[in-house]
Amino acid sequence: MRIILLGAPGSGKGTVAEALRAVTGFPKISTGDLLREAVREKTPLGLVAASQMGKGGLVDDATVLALLRERLARADCRGGYVLDGFPRTLAQADSLDALGAAGPEIVFDLQVSDETVVARLASRRTCPNCEAIYHLVNRPPQAPGVCDVCGTALVQRNDDTAEVIRERLKTYHAKTAPLTARYAAKGGIHRIDGNGSAGTVISEVRRVLDTLLGCPDEAGK
Ligand code: ADP
């Protein structure tokens, strides 16, 4: 099974993907995380990607696809996987189709207003080591400034500044939002109101997933 999460930056894709990883046992594959790892390790690909990411644009399709293919080749993806942040362009969606799917494909679109995005991202803090996500008000770490999972000092991502957030939103509306129509026409898309709390959004995604997978008892919860 392949689960695809579409949505603007800050729509909650990473948080929902983590919840889906926990319930399905499928790995969560975030192209943003893969790219940040390449940037940290200063690989040739990371050096190219860093400038685009810092400006709020997209990294070129060929580079991201190469990283993704490498990750999907690992054994843990055989049964299925959860994609966070890919595809982000129509060309990437075509490439993903060409890769074939490990069984059925389920697509969620997390819908949020631009105001929600700006408010969320400005207060987001992330762990540079394990990529856990926090929010200063809605989801603070237990000890201020420190990751609950691995104890690393939290940081504000360098693309979570007001100016870059505006650029990322522009990029999303121009290049990624058109994907929803494509997937709606292809096989259906599940639209989820992403403006609520993480708990509310995750429950709604799980309800849809349980219904699709035919678990009526779970779906009724
Ligand atoms: P967000 O969804 O909050 O923007 P991500 O961690 O998914 O955060 O992505 C961070 C940055 O990494 C993006 O702004 C973009 O520059 C780059 N990126 C991530 N995924 C892709 C992709 N599929 N194609 C091109 N660039 C990508």
User: What does the pLDDT read at residue 51?
Assistant: 87
Peptide bond before residue 27 is cis, with ω within 30 degrees of 0: no
Among residues 2, 13, 28, 206, the one annotated as catalytic is 13
Structure confidence at residue 216 (pLDDT) = 57
**Mean pLDDT for the chain?**
92
pLDDT score of 218 = 46
Query: Which residues lie across from 126 on neighbouring strands?
Result: 133, 155
Q: What is the pLDDT, as a whole number, of residue 103?
A: 80
Span from the CA of 15 to the centroid of ligand 1 (angstroms): 15
- The pLDDT, as a whole number, for residue 217 is 52
Percentage of the chain exceeding pLDDT 90: 81
Q: What is the pLDDT of residue 200?
A: 96
What's phi and psi for 193, nearest 5 deg?
-75, 110
Q: Say whether pLDDT at 220 is over 60.
A: no
Best of 159, 171, 172, 173 for a ligand 1 pocket test (most atoms within 8 Å of beta carbon): 159
- 69 has catalytic annotation: no
Residue 3 C-beta-side C-alpha neighbours within 13 Å: 32
pLDDT 10s digits, 56-103: 999 999 999 999 999 999 999 989 999 999 999 999 999 999 987 768
Paired tokens of 17: 């993907």
pLDDT higher than 90, residue 114: yes
pLDDT band, residue 219 (cuts 50/70/90): very low
Instruction: Give the predicted TM-score (pTM) of the model.
Output: 0.90
How much distance in Å is there from the Cα of 85 to the middle of ligand 1? Answer: 6
Cα(88)–Cα(61) distance, integer angstroms: 9
Residue 221 has pLDDT above 80, yes or no: no
Ligand 1 pocket check for 169: Cβ under 6 Å: no
Residues written for the chain:
221
Residue in 161, 168, 170, 175 to alter for ligand 1 test, most ligand atoms within 8 A of Cβ: 168
* Stretch 126-143: mean pLDDT: 92
* Average pLDDT value for residue range 122-147: 93
Q: Which residue has the tokens 């990371």?
A: 46
CA neighbours closer than 13 Å in the CB half-sphere of residue 81: 23
Beta-carbon neighbour count of residue 93 at 10 Å? 21
Catalytic pick among 139, 157, 166, 191: 157
CA nearest to 39, candidates 105, 135, 131 = 131
Q: Whose CA is nearest to atom 10 of ligand 1?
A: 32
Question: Rounded to an integer, what distance in angstroms lies between the CA atom of residue 70 and that of residue 6?
Answer: 21
What is the mean pLDDT of the segment spanning 10-20? 94
DSSP per-residue letters across 133-164: EEETTTB--SSTTB-TTT-PBPB--TT-SHHH
Cα of 134 vs its chain's centroid, Å: 15
118/26 Cα distance (integer angstroms): 30
Ligand 1 centroid, distance to 206 Cα (angstroms): 24
